[in-house]
Structure 1
């Protein structure tokens, strides 16, 4: 039989199989029904919510009540020490969003560690100082960037334990807020999420 015909037939079957498969949308309120032993959106949202609550209720933040302006915050390194591949910025952005909404913090995108990201346009716009095609009166002056006062850093740790015929997976979300000027930790918190599943379940 002609090889081209065989190839075309196989591709046709695969395309039909793909068309026949049904993709479903899951409502947010029902999505917990499809949870796995790995970390999912609900876990990250839960960890972020609990961490922010702990921070906003801390003595450090309460003492900021009389502050005239919000503290400038930078996201430092947040290490993903689990067997799953996900961006730690999913966690830090949720946390810093609530921190900014409190009115006591403001986030800089000019500098960050692995737990966040920088806005490349900040540096690129300043490169325009070297380009005669730009009106130099419209280019940002030197010394206008605001340096951060606080640094948010952390680590996410995973621990797997066999419990009889089941597998227990412990996730630890460890976060710290550091005063950059003094190097002192002004707040830290730990959120634990524990899941139990079949022993053959793999958390990655």
Structure 2
């Protein structure tokens, strides 16, 4: 009898597991992308937004760029290489795009996109290939010259003691004068987060 009950219990448990199936995310809702919510100790979208906002505001309000040019022209800026010196995989292209967007929205700068330059160069080749009306074809030689190039480095320091973990990020950005090579502006954004290790239940 006991053996029969054990077999019956085992079959029932197996059937329940089979019915439940694999876990999957089946329902969701839209969330405010500006709302701070940390689900892990990794670099997240809020960190990206904080860095971009700080760099754009700092550059726009710096003494070198806070006053409009007498002729009304805008400084032409290219966001160049942003280096990831952390141990995490971080999408630095997204960070660069975010900074570029934030700078453009200040209305103080004209932006040139580095990736778009490559696409434009390929388009020049196509338009000069004979497939396009020669009188309407565009070609190299008329693009604007970049005045300033922004570069940067994202570094991190991680400390773990017992159940506590401190994650520190520091983004340093520099704006170099393309003609002279001089650094016209530099600033940094620091982010420090504390986490506590807890058990995760299903």
TM-score (norm 1): 0.77
Residue 58 of structure 2: aligned partner: 54
Q: Which runs of 5+ in 2 are unaligned?
A: 1-17
Displacement of 1:143: 1.0
Counterpart among 21, 25, 32 of residue 36 in structure 2:
32
The SS at the match of 1:17 is coil
Is 1:139 aligned to 2:144, yes or no?
no
Following superposition, which runs of at least 4 residues in structure 1 exceed 4 angstroms of deviation?
13-16
Which one scores higher on RCO, CA 8 angstroms, separation ≥ 6? Answer: 1
Displacement of 1:196: 1.2
Counterpart among 171, 187, 191 of residue 193 in structure 1:
191
Look at both structures and tell me which one has the larger radius of gyration over its CA atoms.
2
Q: 1:53 to 1:132 in 2, by over 3 A?
A: closer
Displacement of 1:104: 2.2
Displacement of 1:131: 1.7
Counterpart among 150, 153, 156 of residue 152 in structure 1:
150
Aligned-CA RMSD value: 2.7
Q: Which runs of 5+ in 1 are unaligned?
A: 1-12
Residue 8 of structure 1: aligned partner: none
Q: 1:179 to 1:170 in 2, by over 3 A?
A: same
CA distance in 2, matches of 1:63, 1:166: 46
Residue 91 of structure 2: aligned partner: 87
Displacement of 1:78: 0.3
Q: 1:29 to 1:70 in 2, by over 3 A?
A: closer
Displacement of 1:15: 10
Q: 1:46 to 1:62 in 2, by over 3 A?
A: same
Displacement of 1:17: 2.5
The structure with more helix, counted as a fraction of residues = 1
Counterpart mapping for 1:161-180 below 5 A? 161-180=159-178
TM-score (norm 2): 0.78
1:32-68 alpha-carbon deviations (Å, 9 max, x no partner): 3343221111111111112222112110112435352
